[in-house]
């Protein structure tokens, strides 16, 4: 076990949170969570299956009866209390995240603020779930549309933003009056359970939030097979998302999918190069390159490529790699062995096909974990895997372009459509390119566009539905039309 002291959860004796109780798996089985910085065991966690998930779903259904009837103000007061507790426990939440999935500690503290922002935004947005009145075509009729919570929801979340992906789903769900079950990634159950502890401290009624981790398939099958669950929000890989679409068909469950991305980052000749470089470092190396929105294909106009590449390499050399708990570290480890292997494979494939290494290109071996050096590759071509598949690692591939139309076509030549970035000072060009790119999110001279008050989501195989903004609450509501004859 790790020697780190955790007060929110007892890493020596971890329990799941089901219907307001801290419980073990029925069969007493457990799974292990390792620290990717050190490969040391962090905790053993009860391995839930279908039965524990069913109890959680039934607990959420029980809680729905009262939670959905509370006023928006009352729900907001609980949510804001939870938000305040999260912020008060920022350092511990960050430490837990850092230990279980390797996010650099300082960055993990930023995730707590970002995650808390969804509770603030939706606590307020819950008060604005307006209905409609419709002019009738008969004098003795009155027509209304009311909005009601959809019911019990399930959230299946990834390891790369273990806290924010929960609040991005539970925030709108709770504000709408829904109750839910969260299945966190097997790599990051502890962040989810620490969040549940804070929910308990905030006196959120039992059953409103439930956390079950363990046997992924058994939990997921119960979620998709149980008629109580009316909506599922999934964030994760496109392959799993496609399977879930098929599973959701059986009961026509409402599903929203936040899936993978392959973001183009386009730097025009008239761009502010300093700003473009600062942006690409933030976008590419955040979370060691393990974000769905991070720059995956860097297109630089041929007239400024040399200058951009030189500035970029200079900045990358300044990045501090190491144990994610060290406050001075910018880039932590990859999440696990297979994450590291994918990075090695992409770099080997690119270099084998003619890419030039400008910096990095090897494992970082001064620590025992799954580290890779921040890497910049030049002369990258479309035949290389890195230009087609998510690398999910700290590797930045650069390629050149000559015309606007050429780069728009290249940027859109992907099955993904999540985020894209444009750097230019020309307003007309900026608008033309932004309107031409098939991506749900455009960062215009902005490498970090994600905020609680704006809709986040993708096109094409990056999924459907939006989270964040006033749009993010829609999926948790049913519209009911009422026709009244006087
Ligand atoms: P993943 O393997 O798809 O896992 C995501 C979640 O789904 C985890 O809780 C996982 O549980 C669960 N899961 C895995 N297989 C499942 C199955 N067959 N049925 C039901 N649930 C299943 O993805 P990941 O590797 O954790 O996350 C990285 C991916 O998420 C990347 O593609 C990234 O781009 C994407 N992502 C997208 C967004 C967005 O907003 N669009 C945000 C963050 C990440 P286990 O951990 O137990 O396997």
pLDDT tops 60 at residue 358: yes
pLDDT in tens, 289-312: 999 999 999 999 999 999 999 999
3-class DSSP state for residue 484?
A: strand
Nearest CA to ligand 1 atom 4: 236
471: nearest Cα among 450, 485, 484, 452: 452
* Catalytic machinery residues: 258, 292
Mean pLDDT of 243-255: 98
Q: Is the CB of 418 under 6 A from ligand 1?
A: yes
Q: How far is the CA of 157 from the centre of ligand 1 (A)?
A: 6
pLDDT in tens, 112-125: 999 999 999 999 99
How high is the pLDDT of residue 6?
60
Q: How far is the CA of 158 from the centre of ligand 1 (A)?
A: 5
Nearest-atom index, ligand 1, CA of 243: 18
Q: Is the CB of 280 under 6 A from ligand 1?
A: no
Nearest CA to ligand 1 atom 41: 258
3-class DSSP state for residue 110?
A: helix
pLDDT tops 90 at residue 26: yes
Dist. CA 444–CA 109, nearest whole Å: 26
337: nearest Cα among 393, 271, 265: 393
3-class DSSP state for residue 127?
A: helix
DSSP 8-state symbol, 236: S
Distances (CA, A) of 308 to 37, 271, 302, 314, 356: 32, 10, 10, 10, 15
Q: Is the CB of 260 under 6 A from ligand 1?
A: yes
Residue 70: CA count within 13 A, CB half-sphere: 24
Dist. CA 426–CA 422, nearest whole Å: 11
pLDDT tops 80 at residue 4: no
How high is the pLDDT of residue 3?
42
Nearest-atom index, ligand 1, CA of 418: 41
Q: Is the CB of 292 under 6 A from ligand 1?
A: yes
3-class DSSP state for residue 30?
A: strand
User: With pLDDT > 90 as the criterion, what percentage of the chain qualifies?
Assistant: 98
How high is the pLDDT of residue 9?
81
Nearest-atom index, ligand 1, CA of 158: 26
| Token code pair at residue 141 | 């009729």
| Alpha helices per DSSP H over 185-289 | 189-201, 216-225, 238-249, 273-285
Dist. CA 335–CA 340, nearest whole Å: 8
Determine how many CB atoms are found less than 10 A away from the CB of residue 239: 11
* pLDDT classification of 362: cutoffs 50, 70, 90: very high
How high is the pLDDT of residue 5?
54
Q: Is the CB of 182 under 6 A from ligand 1?
A: no
* pLDDT classification of 11: cutoffs 50, 70, 90: confident
Distances (CA, A) of 28 to 47, 183, 316: 8, 18, 47
Of 34, 97, 158, 342, the residue with max ligand 1 atoms within 8 A of its CB, to mutate for a pocket test, comes to: 158
Nearest CA to ligand 1 atom 11: 185
pLDDT tops 90 at residue 7: no
pLDDT in tens, 441-485: 999 999 999 999 999 999 999 999 999 999 999 999 999 999 999
User: With pLDDT > 70 as the criterion, what percentage of the chain qualifies?
Assistant: 99
Q: Is the CB of 224 under 6 A from ligand 1?
A: no
Q: How far is the CA of 235 from the centre of ligand 1 (A)?
A: 6
How high is the pLDDT of residue 87?
98
Q: How far is the CA of 219 from the centre of ligand 1 (A)?
A: 14
Q: What is the mean pLDDT of the chain?
A: 97
pLDDT in tens, 178-237: 999 999 999 999 999 999 999 999 999 999 999 999 999 999 999 999 999 999 999 999
Q: How far is the CA of 478 from the centre of ligand 1 (A)?
A: 27
Nearest CA to ligand 1 atom 28: 236
Nearest-atom index, ligand 1, CA of 214: 47
Q: Is the CB of 214 under 6 A from ligand 1?
A: no
How high is the pLDDT of residue 8?
84
Of 97, 212, 240, the residue with max ligand 1 atoms within 8 A of its CB, to mutate for a pocket test, comes to: 240
Q: Is the CB of 394 under 6 A from ligand 1?
A: no
How high is the pLDDT of residue 263?
98
Q: How far is the CA of 336 from the centre of ligand 1 (A)?
A: 14
Q: How far is the CA of 186 from the centre of ligand 1 (A)?
A: 10
Q: Which residues are 234's β-sheet partners?
A: 156, 257
* pLDDT classification of 10: cutoffs 50, 70, 90: confident
List all residues 6 or more positions away from 39 whose beta carbon is below 8 Å from its beta carbon: 368, 369, 370
Burial level of 395, CB count in 10 A (0-12/13-18/19+)? buried
């Amino acid at each position: 076990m790790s020697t780190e002291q955790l007060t929110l959860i007892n890493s020596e004796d971890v329990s799941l949170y089901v219907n307001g109780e801290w419980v073990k798996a029925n069969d007493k089985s457990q799974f292990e969570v390792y620290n990717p910085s050190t490969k040391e065991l962090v905790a053993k966690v009860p391995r839930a299956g279908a039965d524990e998930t069913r109890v959680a779903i039934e607990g959420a259904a029980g809680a729905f009866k009262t939670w959905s009837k509370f006023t928006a103000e009352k729900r907001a007061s609980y949510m804001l209390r939870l938000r305040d507790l999260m912020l008060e426990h920022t350092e511990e939440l960050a430490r837990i995240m850092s230990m279980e999935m390797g996010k650099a500690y300082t960055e993990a503290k930023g995730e707590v603020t970002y995650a808390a922002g969804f509770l603030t935004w939706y606590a307020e947005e819950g008060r604005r779930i307006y209905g409609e009145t419709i002019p009738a075509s008969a004098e003795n009729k009155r027509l209304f549309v009311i909005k009601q919570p959809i019911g019990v929801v399930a959230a299946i979340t990834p390891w790369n933003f273990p806290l924010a992906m929960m609040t991005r789903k539970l925030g709108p769900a709770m504000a709408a009056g829904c109750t839910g079950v969260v299945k966190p990634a097997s790599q990051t159950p502890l962040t989810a359970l620490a969040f549940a502890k804070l929910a308990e401290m905030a006196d959120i009624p039992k059953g409103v939030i439930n956390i079950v981790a363990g046997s992924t398939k058994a939990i997921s099958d119960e979620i998709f097979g149980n008629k109580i669950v009316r909506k599922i929000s999934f964030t994760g890989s496109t392959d799993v998302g496609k399977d879930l679409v098929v599973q959701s068909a059986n009961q026509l469950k409402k599903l929203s999918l936040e899936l993978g991305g392959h973001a183009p980052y386009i730097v025009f000749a008239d761009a502010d190069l300093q700003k473009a470089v600062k942006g690409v470092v933030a976008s590419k190396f955040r979370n060691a390159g393990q974000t769905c929105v991070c720059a995956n294909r860097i297109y630089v106009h041929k007239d400024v490529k040399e200058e951009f590449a030189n500035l970029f390499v200079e900045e990358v050399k300044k990045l501090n790699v190491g144990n994610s708990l060290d406050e001075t570290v910018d880039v932590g480890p990859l999440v696990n062995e297979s994450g590291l292997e994918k990075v090695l494979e992409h770099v080997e494939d690119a270099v084998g096909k003619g890419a030039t290494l400008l910096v990095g290109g090897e494992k970082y071996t001064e620590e025992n974990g799954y580290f890779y050096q921040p890497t910049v590759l030049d002369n990258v071509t479309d035949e290389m895997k890195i230009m087609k598949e998510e690398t999910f690692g700290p590797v930045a591939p650069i390629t050149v372009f000559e015309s606007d139309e050429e780069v728009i076509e290249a940027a859109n030549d992907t099955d993904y459509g999540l985020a894209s970035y444009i750097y230019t000072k020309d307003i007309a060009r900026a608008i033309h390119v932004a309107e031409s790119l098939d991506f749900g999110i455009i960062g215009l001279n902005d490498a970090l566009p994600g905020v609680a008050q704006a809709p986040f989501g993708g096109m094409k195989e990056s999924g459907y539905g939006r989270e964040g903004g006033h749009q993010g609450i829609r999926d948790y509501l049913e519209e009911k039309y009422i026709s009244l004859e006087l």
